Homo-oligomer: A and B are copies of this chain.
Amino acid sequence: MMERLRVGILGATGAVGQQFVRLLAGHPWFEITALAASERSAGRSYTEAANWIGSEPIPDEIASMIVQVCDPGLECDFVFSGLDASVAGALEGDFARAGYPVISNARNFRMEPDVPLLIPEVNPGHTALIDQQKWGTGGFIVTNPNCSTVGLVCALKPLADAFGLESVHVSTMQALSGAGYPGVSSLDILGNVVPYIGGEEDKLETEPLKLLGKLTGGVVQPLHTVISAQCNRVAVLDGHLETVSVRLTEPATPEQAVAAFRDYPNPIAAFGLPTAPDPFIKVFEDPRFPQPRRQAGLGGGMTVSVGRVRPCPVQDLRMVVLSHNTIRGAAGGAILNAELLVHQGYLKAK
């Protein structure tokens, strides 16, 4: 058995940081050796510094670990970043310059031309962009997409490959945990829907084009398609549900689309990555599913669920897509990215 890589977590006390701690408990490849957060938290034990919101207690070996400031110098082979976008730009750059690989959940570098925006099942080859990055020796940044992007792109990829993708309509019903903690006031959302999430639609209309793009000549050519996104917040704890309509280059029947999902040649299927779900995509035939509370947790929160695949009278096909926003859409997605990078040789012990 291989030695586990030493992992640091930036923004360890926040909502995403806590998910990293939770999901890395008992991970076979990675071991948390450093926790870093703001100056307010530094110097205190993780138990004291984090307002832990999980149901299970903090893993024993983490509870008494002392939180450090987010300065390079952490004892680890690479870092996961759950930093808020307001500070991630500067701090992630600091770590990359200091020679740390940074596996980030923040949005700051996602659209940079030389930074991979990565979903292992979708565009594993985009990691080649790392070779173009010019930080310190050994330092680089890899990002995962926004929580509402990931489910959509996973569902679009088999269709884009099989039939070509012309345009997409997506209307989301997004969970509360996507807004962080304390996030959405209960007075705003109990028995209600809020038809607006600041900045969300822009990410959902642009990130998929890069993710579905082709890396040629060292440049990712975005997929030539158009996305229209309308984002809503609903009273659900975890799981972003999306109604989707697509226009395809070659029209396909629902049966052909379901076959495309089932036959999609998952490029990481044979890699044995610990966090990779099986199946990657689950297709439901019962029209009542997928539902956030019932299916967001499938495959440990990493499986993407698709249902109600049927013709669209305006475009070609319609479907419903569900993915877990804080696992597949945040910390779990970043961990799977790191696992792919281990497999590809980008991440290794210092």
Contacts and interface: CB of A to CB of B under 8 A. Distances in A.
Nearest to A15: B187
Nearest to A291: B192
B195 A187 contact: no
Chain copies in the assembly? 4
A221 B70 CA distance: 59
A240 B308 CA distance: 21
A26 interface: no
Contacts of A245: 169, 228, 230
A186 B184 CA distance: 6
A307 interface: yes
Q: Interface on chain A toward B: helix, strand, loop, or mixed SS?
A: mixed
Contacts of A243: 171, 195, 230, 232
A205 interface: yes
Interface in A229-261: 230, 232, 234-237, 241, 243, 245
Given A190-B235, A232-B173, A308 B227 contact: no
Nearest to A315: B228
Interface of A: 53, 55, 167-169, 171, 173, 176-177, 181-196, 205, 226-228, 230, 232, 234-237, 241, 243, 245, 287-295, 297, 307-308, 312-315, 318, 320
